[in-house]
Amino acid sequence: MFASDMNSVREASRVTTAGLMLFPIQFTWPYGGRSVFISGSFNRWAELVPMSQVEGAPNVFQAVCAVSHGCHEYKFLVDGEWRHDERQPHKNGEYGIVNTFDALPVPVEVAQVQPRLDVLNSMEVDTGLTHRISAVTLNQAMPRISEEDVQACRHRISVFLAAHTAYELLPESGKVVALDVNLPVKQAFHILSEQGIALAPLWDNCKGKFVGVLSASDFILILRELGNHGSNLTEEELETHTISAWKEGKAYMNRQVDGHGRPIPKHLIYAGPCDNLKDVALKILQSGVAIVPVIHSSSEDGSFPQLLHLASLSGILKCLCRYFKHCSGSLPVLQLPIYAIPLGTWVPRIGESSSQPFAMLRPTASLSSALNMLVQARVSSIPIVDDNDSLLDIYSRSDITALAKGRAYTHNLNEMTIYQALQLGQDSNTPYEMRSQRCQMCLRTDTLLKVMEQLANPGVRRLVIVEAGSNRVEGVVSLTDVFRFLLG
């Protein structure tokens, strides 16, 4: 009866969720079977999602599905028979007994965009959602390692980092781009886009020193300011508005002023070439920045500074991998699969409460929704998934600078889709599916060392954890996550 009714419901309920903000949830069926599927109101009962058998737990099946805000019902199809999980919340409904859960939004109030030291540039998730669901225990075989081994690994890595300096991060050849604070903002972002970089240090010729950094985050705030009808910044002014004027206006916008109403100058966070790598890594982690300029001055008063390099966690991790790659056997932690380590942000399971739910978007969602999420949830990137919740691409802060091309920022951001925004940064002849190569992925069974080696590649700041075969998103692990774990 249930199955026949379900067919009619599927045909009548094919409603797109393309523009919705979606939150992946991991469903679990722990009672065995030969073939297990799940369907529910979250996909309009229009699809049977296959569930995968968990390695090491033959009776446990799991699947990740994207859900929108609201109350949802779901049911399992086990060996051709519709069943529900009696240990999860359930009720009698139109189609028999179904399991239920609520994904209810909680408003996120971000009146002013302020830097936070406790939230760094990893792909952490929107804090505006709580899942009111009861807990379920999953007995999954998991590799174990003693706390002594973990601490021994951390000690060896800490000793290594303390014994090496930022000077060792400098490449044999290369260039570092810096911007003058008197450059117009629009021109500055054109430069970032053309050079393929997401940020650059700022030079103040009057003060004779580096005074800050211009990043993609600034461009996001400018776009939001342009879209604000009460804004004092117009598109015409953006053509001549200087970086220094924007930084001053940003301080007023964030109310970072002294008792006399003057903007409070922010001190540049930088490192010297003789600073050890552990201190450099801690500066990046504690300040929540993506890079730290390495600056050298031959004079005691710091005049005539030379910008040598932009130090990042990626470069430091590359040094670690190069040193420990051939002796990783002596550090058993590096051989653990990442799912066995408290590392990264994972899709919450059904039956598992999460204070940091995980957000995704469809490629047809509006660009304004992505920008709002990047600012309000303080994330650095958002997974873009298809109708099967498989990873297509990632929209990150660094992609924002592509909007500087051809004055794309003058378009209505509510009408521009994420797909269109990503096209700006790609060759027009490149098929959309090919851009999935931009997505750096890993599996939950990959070892910590393998993940570290991937993250050590230039330009890679995070890996999306996907399900083998389907590429459904299971979580994200970032450079920040790895260093927080390694440094304890």
285 close to 317: Cβ distance less than 8 angstroms: no
Please check whether residues 233 and 99 belong to one and the same domain. Answer: no
Those residues with Cβ within 8 angstroms of residue 47's Cβ, 6 or more apart along the chain or in another chain: 10, 39
The CATH number for 46's domain is 2.60.40.10
Which amino acid, 357? Answer: P
Would 44 be classed as within a structural domain? yes
What is the pLDDT at residue 226? Answer: 65
Q: Which of 243, 259, 262 is CA-nearest to residue 251?
A: 262
For residue 182, the Cα-to-chain-centroid distance in whole angstroms is 32
pLDDT surpasses 80 at 308 = yes
Please check whether residues 288 and 347 belong to one and the same domain. Answer: no
Q: Give the end of a domain, one of 316, 351, 367.
A: 316
Lowest mean pLDDT among 154-158, 305-309, 412-416, 476-480: 412-416
Tokens, residue 252: 């007023």
Please check whether residues 335 and 469 belong to one and the same domain. Answer: yes
Please check whether residues 266 and 372 belong to one and the same domain. Answer: no
Tokens, residue 224: 């939001």
Please check whether residues 338 and 454 belong to one and the same domain. Answer: yes
Helix (H) or strand (E) holding 245: helix 243-253
Would 143 be classed as within a structural domain? no
Would 135 be classed as within a structural domain? no
Angstrom distance (rounded) from CA 74 to CA 69 = 15
Please check whether residues 386 and 467 belong to one and the same domain. Answer: yes
Please check whether residues 99 and 196 belong to one and the same domain. Answer: no
Helix (H) or strand (E) holding 162: helix 147-162
Q: Which of 411, 442, 456 is CA-nearest to residue 315?
A: 456
Q: Give the end of a domain, one of 261, 289, 316.
A: 316
Would 181 be classed as within a structural domain? yes
pLDDT surpasses 90 at 345 = no
- Condensed to tens digits (0 to 9), the pLDDT of residues 18-27 reads 445 677 788 8
Residue with tokens 């073939």: 35
Q: Which of 129, 142, 141 is CA-nearest to residue 347?
A: 129
Would 442 be classed as within a structural domain? yes
Would 133 be classed as within a structural domain? no
What is the pLDDT at residue 257? Answer: 67
Please check whether residues 174 and 307 belong to one and the same domain. Answer: yes
Q: Give the end of a domain, one of 58, 79, 103.
A: 103
% residues pLDDT > 90 (the chain):
25
Length of the chain: 488
Q: Which of 284, 304, 287 is CA-nearest to residue 296?
A: 304
More confident residue, 323 or 436: 323
What is the pLDDT at residue 431? Answer: 42
What is the pLDDT at residue 311? Answer: 94
What is the pLDDT at residue 110? Answer: 28
- Condensed to tens digits (0 to 9), the pLDDT of residues 362-419 reads 899 888 888 888 877 677 788 998 888 889 899 888 787 777 666 666 667 778 888 8
Sign of the Cα torsion 298, 301, 306, 309 reads positive
Would 131 be classed as within a structural domain? no
The rounded mean pLDDT for the chain is 77
- Condensed to tens digits (0 to 9), the pLDDT of residues 246-256 reads 887 776 666 66
The CATH number for 448's domain is 3.10.580.10
What is the three-class DSSP state of 368?
Answer: helix
The residue segments making up the domain with residue 476 are: 330-487
**Residue 136 region by backbone torsions, left for phi larger than 0, else alpha for psi between -120 and 50, else beta:** beta
357 close to 472: Cβ distance less than 8 angstroms: no
pTM exceeding the 0.85 threshold for the entire prediction: no
Please check whether residues 307 and 355 belong to one and the same domain. Answer: no
| Exposure on the CB side of residue 29, measured as CA atoms within 13 A | 28
What is the pLDDT at residue 374? Answer: 80
- Condensed to tens digits (0 to 9), the pLDDT of residues 111-126 reads 222 322 232 233 232 2
For residue 188, the Cα-to-chain-centroid distance in whole angstroms is 25
Question: How many structural domains are present in the chain?
Answer: 3
Please check whether residues 345 and 458 belong to one and the same domain. Answer: yes
131 close to 25: Cβ distance less than 8 angstroms: yes
- Condensed to tens digits (0 to 9), the pLDDT of residues 33-62 reads 999 999 988 888 888 888 988 877 888 898
Please check whether residues 337 and 269 belong to one and the same domain. Answer: no
Please check whether residues 356 and 306 belong to one and the same domain. Answer: no
Would 129 be classed as within a structural domain? no
What is the pLDDT at residue 422? Answer: 84
